[in-house]
Amino acid sequence: MPFHVYGVWRADAVLPDGLEGLYDTPVTTVAEDGLAALVSECPETPTARRAELMAHARVLEQVIETETVLPMQFGMCMPDEQTVRHDLLVTYRPRLATQLSQLDGTVQVTVKVVYREDDALREVLHRSPRLVQMRDKLASIPPAAAHFKRADFGQEIAGELERMGSRDGAEILGALAPLALAHAEERLLSPYHILNTAFLVRREERPRFDEAVGKVAQQWQELGTVRYLGPQPPYSFVDLEAGDPAWA
Amino acid sequence: MTVTQSPNRYLERPAPSSLADVVEIILDKGLVIDIYVRVSLVGIELLTIDARIVVASVDTYLRFAEAVNRLDLKDDDTSGLPELMGDLTERGAKGKTSGALEGVGEKVSSLLGGGDDDEDDEDSDEDEQKRPPRKRPSSSTRKRSSSSSSRTRKKAES
Amino acid sequence: MGLISGIFTAPLAPIKGVVWVAEQVHDQAMRELYDPESIQRSLDQVQLDREMGVIDDDEADRREDELLERLIEAKRGGNPHG
């Protein structure tokens, strides 16, 4: 029977009662030498629909409330219990054990800050009289003739927006990073995305971090929206590749 | 728990993580052993692609200009994107090849690899170098001492 | 596509703003549709529209399902349109 794998934790960690995972099957553990994988049964051809994705995230978010767990990427489907033991827990034991130890007592939270388009563009114009002039000049040219100039103007706007976003993003990061153990900057999806960063925070320091994020949200409310996710397992702070697996 | 801030408020009460939030993380991050990643497609009909709508997405700089124009809500005449697309379809139908969209021209120039204009469109994946380094995870800011700068790279990295 | 196939492709010298090559633009547009970042942006937008009440839950679900399908396809190395 294939197993969907959610994550790895210490074998002595406590599984919440009645935890259900993908395909409405119960989450169980497969233990080996002090480590355990959280798994549930899955079909031979596992699917990646909304239900499966949300279940994977939900199980991990429930577990991280009380226990340290190293999350698997979605889609890990191992053919049987033996494979889970050998190819995951035994093979990668040193790396897994090290990370569990390092990440003990921490959680991940993610902060995303996105400008609202109109507000950001107004601010860009507000900060740059030169661009206001360009726009006014453009307005006086008939649209058909203005094509070249419009793209130039658009490019200038884009540049200013980029600079502004970069500065604001750095400022926000500067306010939050000192309150975390580590952070990992993730991809920014558009010129209006100015921060998308995962933070590793000690559990006991969460309230302080939450408060700081609240302040950021308030300070930037004129220009954008703050999205604050967590607590999450440390998705952005785990990996299997650093260091050799046990059998290498 | 997801908390989203809305205008004039501090953080709201927690809300569940959205599909978008979940997708962004769990398909890209976390531990992975490539050979055991298995996802099957479910037979949802993919939408038929309407090229007119899709083509409109390629001209970035023009969009900025249009967006700024729209800020002035008083003058509501303007050549927003729909009008641009109208031009496009009209010219297309008549088989004309001149006077095409500005942004499209730039885009195409860069695709052809020639021309005076080497400005690459921001949206293009190939042009990642043009975007500031902050777009990429910056290894220098990761303070986990034992980690190398790389995460487990997925085959999906494209 | 009816629109594109009706246009003669007559590439001129690539001077800024004056070139129209239907095939390249079409292919690029296709690539963008299967670009994971672009799909993620769309997913984010659907969520925003849902939260702001611009679309109802059913419509949001429908759009998300389609985007998710496209994303999985993209991650499997597909752009079914080449």
Average pLDDT of each block of 10 consecutive residues along chain C (82 residues)? 44 45 70 88 93 94 94 76 52
Q: Which residue of A has its CA nearest to B1?
A: A230
Q: Is 50 exceeded by the pLDDT of residue A220?
A: yes
Sign (positive or negative) of CA dihedral A52, A57, A60, A63: negative
Predicted pLDDT at A71: 98
C45 touches A: beta carbon within 8 Å? no
Report ipTM (2 d.p.): 0.89
The residue ranges of DSSP E strands in chain A, in sequence order, are 3-10, 28-32, 35-41, 70-71, 77-78, 106-115, 182-185, 193-202, 224-232
| Chain A hits for C68, Cβ within 8 Å | 48-50, 53
DSSP A174: H
Predicted pLDDT at B105: 35
Query: Tokens 């999806």 label which residue?
Result: A189
Which one has a higher pLDDT value, A121 or B79? A121
Please report the number of interchain residue pairs, chain A to chain B, with beta-carbon separation below 8 angstroms: 231
User: What span, in angstroms and rounded, lies between the C-alpha atoms of A7 and C32?
Assistant: 33
Predicted pLDDT at A151: 83
Would you say residue C68 lies in a domain?
Answer: yes
Find the domain containing C43 and state its range. Answer: 22-75
Q: How confident is the model at residue A13 (pLDDT cuts 50, 70, 90)?
A: very high
Local structure of C60: helix, strand or coil: helix
pLDDT < 50 stretches in chain B: 5-10, 12-14, 41-58, 73-158
pTM for this structure?
0.73
Of B62, B67, B146, Cβ closest to residue A102: B146
Nearest partner of A155 among B19, B59, B23, judged by Cα = B59
Of B29, B63, B150, Cβ closest to residue A235: B29
Would you say residue C33 lies in a domain?
Answer: yes
User: What span, in angstroms and rounded, lies between the C-alpha atoms of B89 and B85?
Assistant: 6
Which stretch of DSSP H or E encloses residue B4?
Answer: strand B2-4
Q: How confident is the model at residue A242 (pLDDT cuts 50, 70, 90)?
A: low
Please report the number of interchain residue pairs, chain B to chain C, with beta-carbon separation below 8 angstroms: 145
Would you say residue C53 lies in a domain?
Answer: yes
Q: pLDDT tens, A202-211?
A: 999 999 999 9
User: What is the pairing mode between strands A28-32 and A35-41?
Assistant: antiparallel
State percent of chain A over pLDDT 70.
97
Burial A40-66 (b: 16+ CB within 10 A, else e): bebeeebbbbbebbbbbbbbbbbbbee
User: What span, in angstroms and rounded, lies between the C-alpha atoms of B158 and B155?
Assistant: 8
Tell me if A49 and B42 make a contact (CB, 8 A cut-off).
yes
Would you say residue C9 lies in a domain?
Answer: no
The mean of the pLDDT values for chain A is 93
Which one has a higher pLDDT value, A159 or A145? A159
Would you say residue C3 lies in a domain?
Answer: no
Would you say residue C13 lies in a domain?
Answer: no
Predicted pLDDT at A246: 60
Would you say residue C2 lies in a domain?
Answer: no
A245 touches B: beta carbon within 8 Å? no
Contact B56, A95 (CB under 8 A): no
Would you say residue C11 lies in a domain?
Answer: no
A touches which chains (3+ CB pairs under 8 A)? Answer: B, C
User: What span, in angstroms and rounded, lies between the C-alpha atoms of A223 and B27?
Assistant: 30
Predicted pLDDT at A124: 94
Q: How many domains does chain C have?
A: 1
Predicted pLDDT at B41: 47
Among C residues 10-49, those touching chain B with beta carbons less than 8 Å apart: 10-22, 24-26, 28-33, 35-38, 40, 43-44, 46-47
**The tokens of A234 are what?**
């440390």
pLDDT, mean of residues A212-228: 94
Predicted pLDDT at A26: 97
Predicted pLDDT at A170: 98
State percent of chain A over pLDDT 90.
83
Contact A6, A64 (CB under 8 A): no
Q: Which residue of C has its CA nearest to A112?
A: C44
Predicted pLDDT at C79: 62
Sign (positive or negative) of CA dihedral B136, B149, A179, B15: positive
